[in-house]
């Protein structure tokens, strides 16, 4: 006998009758003209499909719900972030809030920013299309000058020095406005770190009295000099720097570098200062108790030019504070921001900093925000 073939629809309908009619499987099989074993096989196959293929409509509902919850969570996250940023802006007018929207529109949708900040989208777009006011134009000009001066200062000027720089260029601006512009553009001066001294005072050389006694004031150039030695790390090893500073204008009048800490390093800086300045007798030369400055050769060179020798008290770092301040400035504005490959590279950079920036350009708060060169020029005129 030829075996009959049944469609899937017929098979599904037979199983549905078994589950919904309440009749016996044998009766349903007889009505449909199929064997009982065939009907039982169809029922088993239907159960297997239900296990392997869960209710897809239920899955789609769950996925849709997850998407909705994620969307709502993202909206809440954005609104919370907007509120955190906008706390300081609610005290200002609408223009201040519009400025925040314009700044944050790359991160958040404009309509959500407007909703959270309580302004209309049409108001924001109208504000954006409005021409800038006179003060905004002035801020743009000032900011251009601020950026230029900040770059020329090697990113070292804070708002006090920057304000004086702008004023000396004929721009009418106060410190608060300068500070606001710098803060708005993230222009921050480098912070100084703690400085470590490297003085070797364990020697048998004679110690001179402290003639300076922490009186760093001077009425003119070549009255008081301060000297000291510091160190700079390079990938080749340590580079040592000796300086001689005229305390009148904080000007570096002599400097030298070497790969070893020896007496000749201090002598090289001193000789350079003597050649550049040719001081008259009576100048006070102050240094710490390091062996380089207590050596017979160094002290003989000072006496040869009629220079009075002064040395710091034992363990008192404040006695030579003027020179240490220079080293702190040098390290914060140059050394700590650079990894030098060679000693030669470091020495060249230090020379550019001292002769090209620190002496002729850098403004000092103690000098009424003028540079050492300008201060000496004004004193001589």
* Per-residue pLDDT tens digits of the chain, which is 381 residues long: 445 667 778 888 888 888 777 778 888 888 778 888 888 888 888 777 765 555 555 566 677 777 777 877 777 777 777 776 666 555 555 667 777 777 777 778 888 878 877 788 888 777 776 655 666 667 776 777 777 777 777 677 777 777 887 777 777 778 888 788 777 767 776 654 444 444 444 444 567 788 888 888 888 999 999 999 999 988 898 999 999 999 999 999 999 999 988 889 999 999 999 999 999 999 999 998 888 888 888 999 999 999 999 988 776 667 788 888 899 889 888 888 888 999 999 999 999 999 999 999 888 888 888 888 888 888 875
Q: Does 200 map to a domain?
A: no
Is residue 201 assigned to a domain? no
Q: Are 124 and 153 in contact (CB under 8 A)?
A: no
DSSP letter at 364 equals: B
Alpha carbon 244 to its chain centroid, in Å, reads: 32
83 and 108 assigned to the same domain: yes
Closest by Cα among 364, 375, 368 to 157: 364
Q: Is 250 in the same domain as 152? A: no
Answer yes or no: do 173 and 295 share one domain. Answer: no
Residue 114 in domain: yes
| Selection from 268, 274, 202, 205 nearest residue 241 by Cα | 268
Report pTM: 0.53
Are 266 and 337 part of one and the same domain?
yes
Number of domains within the chain = 4
Structural domain that includes position 344:
224-380
- Residues 124, 141, single domain; the answer is no
Q: Are 378 and 363 in contact (CB under 8 A)?
A: no
Q: Are both 367 and 272 inside the same structural domain? A: yes
98 part of a folded domain? yes
353 and 235, same structural domain? Answer: yes
Q: Are residues 246 and 336 in the same domain?
A: yes
CATH number of the domain bearing residue 279: 3.30.420.10
What's the Cα-to-Cα distance from 110 to each of 89, 98, 127, 198, rounded to whole Å? 16, 10, 13, 58
Whether residues 116 and 234 fall in one domain: no
From CA 160, how far away is CA 157, in angstroms rounded? 8
Q: Are both 91 and 104 inside the same structural domain?
A: yes
Measure the CA dihedral 103/106/109/113, to 10°: -20
Q: Which helix (H) or strand (E) holds 162?
A: helix 159-168
């Amino acid at each position: 006998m030829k075996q009959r073939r049944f469609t899937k629809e017929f098979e599904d309908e037979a199983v549905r009758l078994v589950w919904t009619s309440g009749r016996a499987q044998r009766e349903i099989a007889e009505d449909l003209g199929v064997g009982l074993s065939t009907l039982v096989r169809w029922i088993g196959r239907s159960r297997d499909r239900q296990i392997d293929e869960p209710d897809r409509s239920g899955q789609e509902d769950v996925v849709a719900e997850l998407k909705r919850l994620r969307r709502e969570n993202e909206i809440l996250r954005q609104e919370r972030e907007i509120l955190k940023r906008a706390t300081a802006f609610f005290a200002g007018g609408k223009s201040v809030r519009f400025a925040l929207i314009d700044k944050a529109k790359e991160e958040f949708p404009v309509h959500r920013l407007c909703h959270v900040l309580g302004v209309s989208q049409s108001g924001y777009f109208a504000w954006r299309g409005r021409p800038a006011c006179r003060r905004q134009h002035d801020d743009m000009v000032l900011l251009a000058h601020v950026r230029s001066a900040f770059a020329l200062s090697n990113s070292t000027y804070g708002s006090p020095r920057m304000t004086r720089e702008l004023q000396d260029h004929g721009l009418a601006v106060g410190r608060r406005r300068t500070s606001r512009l710098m803060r708005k553009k993230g222009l921050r001066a480098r912070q100084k770190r703690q400085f470590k001294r490297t003085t070797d005072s364990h020697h048998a050389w004679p110690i001179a009295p402290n003639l300076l006694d922490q009186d760093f004031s001077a009425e003119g150039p070549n009255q008081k000099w301060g000297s000291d030695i510091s160190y700079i790390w390079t990938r080749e090893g340590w580079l040592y720097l000796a300086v001689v500073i005229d305390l009148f204008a904080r000007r570096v009048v002599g400097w030298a570098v070497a790969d070893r800490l020896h007496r000749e390093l201090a002598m090289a800086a001193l000789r350079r200062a003597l050649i550049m300045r040719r001081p008259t007798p009576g100048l006070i030369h102050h240094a710490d108790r390091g062996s380089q400055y207590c050596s017979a050769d160094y002290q003989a060179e000072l006496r040869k030019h009629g220079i009075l020798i002064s040395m710091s008290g034992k363990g008192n770092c404040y006695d030579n504070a003027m020179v240490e301040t220079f080293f702190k400035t040098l390290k914060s504005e140059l050394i700590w921001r650079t990894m030098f490959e060679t000693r030669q590279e470091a020495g060249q950079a230090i020379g550019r900093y001292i002769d090209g920036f620190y002496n002729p350009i850098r403004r000092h708060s103690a000098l009424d925000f003028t540079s050492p060169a300008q201060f000496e020029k004004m004193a001589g005129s």
